[in-house]
Amino acid sequence: MGSTAKQQPDREEVAAPESRFKNLMKKLVRNKSSLIGGIILIIFTLIALSTLLSQFRILPFDLMTHDPTSTDVLNDFESPSSEHWFGTDHNGRDIYSRIIYGTHLTLYVGVLSVAIGAVFGIVLGLFAGYYGRIIDSVIMRVSDVLLAFPGILLALAIVSALGPSLNNVIIALSIYNIPVFARITRASVLEVKSVEYVEAVRALGAKDGKIIFQHILPNVGSPIIVQASLQVATSILSAAGLSFLGLGVQPPTPEWGAMLNSGRSYMWDNPHLTLFPGIALVLIVLGFNMLGDGLRDALDPRSKK
């Protein structure tokens, strides 16, 4: 045939939509609150990781300048100097090294207690919101009873019953975090379970487990993520409060709340004993709160920013 084959028209290249994660990161970077909070948390996370890695001699350097638990009574109550950057406490221990070491304990307690509480709370909230009726009533009434107590008092009661230790603090804070996430998840499920796509999947014969975990859970994650960030800050403060009362991490393990407790008797003559641990605690809590505020603005579809 003499006729030439028709050339196909050029297809318009359609740009692939940005992933939700990439879009979220752009919003967080543009948000000053989340940016500052993220930088603070990255610094503390790197400090915690470097401390752990240096203990196993994986890193060639160590941020700690002294052994955080070794005592030197001949050099107690030293003011900040080139030898001891944050000074020494009543036992001659280097405060800077103790704060650096205590960073991973603080993050460990805060993040792990929220993670455990979130797992159980999300599952309970999913079932309460999806099934309703008697299951909803039982789960929500138990949650109301737990939330009726202030977080620190409930944790104090649990740790007092179990005994003072790091693991018991995590258990106590996890129990308090469960009803918080259960209520948030339940409220989100009640909004999502009646939308069209969920009804369509149910009409096609999908089982409840598939509907709950594959279609409802991915669409209720935004408020959970925001609450998790804010809840870590609350758990860190509660853990420090328990250690301040002598029910958390036990001496001589460096922990910021315990350091505040041991230095409060000398704070008027030697303010550096409580000043630097207090600043570290304020900064890490501020970081999580600022990141949580930024996440709320970025994940809120009604936000105009």
CATH code: domain of residue 211: 1.10.3720.10
Q: Does residue 180 form part of some domain?
A: yes
Separation CA 87–CA 193 (nearest Å): 57
Q: Does residue 272 form part of some domain?
A: yes
Q: What is the CA radius of gyration of the chain?
A: 25
User: At residue 165, does pLDDT exceed 60?
Assistant: yes
Q: Which amino acid is at 250?
A: Q
Q: Which amino acid is at 107?
A: L
Q: Which domain holds residue 48?
A: 28-57+86-299
pLDDT of residue 138: 92
Domains held by the chain: number: 1
Q: How confident is the model at residue 283 (pLDDT cuts 50, 70, 90)?
A: very high
Please answer whether residues 260 and 244 qualify as being in contact, where contact means their C-beta atoms are separated by less than 8 angstroms.
Answer: yes
Angle between helices 272-299 and 256-263 (to 10 degrees): 150
Q: Does residue 62 form part of some domain?
A: no
Q: How confident is the model at residue 302 (pLDDT cuts 50, 70, 90)?
A: low
Question: What integer is the mean pLDDT of 18-27?
Answer: 72
pLDDT of residue 293: 86
Question: What integer is the mean pLDDT of 246-263?
Answer: 86
Locate 298 and state its tokens. Answer: 């970025």
User: At residue 73, does pLDDT exceed 90?
Assistant: no
**Of how many residues is the chain composed?**
305
Of the segments 76-85, 102-111, 147-156, 200-209, which one has the largest average pLDDT value?
102-111
Separation CA 111–CA 174 (nearest Å): 10
Q: Does residue 304 form part of some domain?
A: no
Of the candidates 257, 51, 229, the one whose C-alpha atom is nearest the C-alpha of residue 169 is: 257
User: At residue 5, does pLDDT exceed 60?
Assistant: no
* DSSP assigned state of 302: T
Separation CA 225–CA 288 (nearest Å): 12
Separation CA 251–CA 267 (nearest Å): 19
pLDDT of residue 10: 44
Q: Does residue 146 form part of some domain?
A: yes
Please answer whether residues 229 and 247 qualify as being in contact, where contact means their C-beta atoms are separated by less than 8 angstroms.
Answer: no
The partner residues of 88 in beta bridges, in order of sequence, read: 94
pLDDT of residue 186: 92
Q: How confident is the model at residue 301 (pLDDT cuts 50, 70, 90)?
A: low
Q: Does residue 72 form part of some domain?
A: no
Cα distances from 132 to residues 32, 44, 127, 273, in angstroms, run 40, 42, 8, 53
Report pLDDT digits (tens) over 82-134. Answer: 888 999 988 889 999 999 999 999 999 999 999 999 999 999 999 998 888 89
Q: Does residue 81 form part of some domain?
A: no
Q: How confident is the model at residue 63 (pLDDT cuts 50, 70, 90)?
A: confident
73-101 burial code (b ≥16 CB/10 A, e <16): eeebebeeeeebebbbbebbbbbbbbbbb
Q: Which residue carries 């100097």 as its tokens?
A: 81
pTM of the complete model: 0.85
Of the candidates 235, 228, 251, the one whose C-alpha atom is nearest the C-alpha of residue 285 is: 235
Question: How far is C-alpha 153 from the chain's CA centre?
Answer: 20
Q: Which amino acid is at 48?
A: A
Q: How confident is the model at residue 18 (pLDDT cuts 50, 70, 90)?
A: low
Please answer whether residues 239 and 257 qualify as being in contact, where contact means their C-beta atoms are separated by less than 8 angstroms.
Answer: yes
Q: Does residue 287 form part of some domain?
A: yes
What are the φ and ψ backbone dihedral angles of 109, each rounded to 5 degrees? Answer: -65, -45
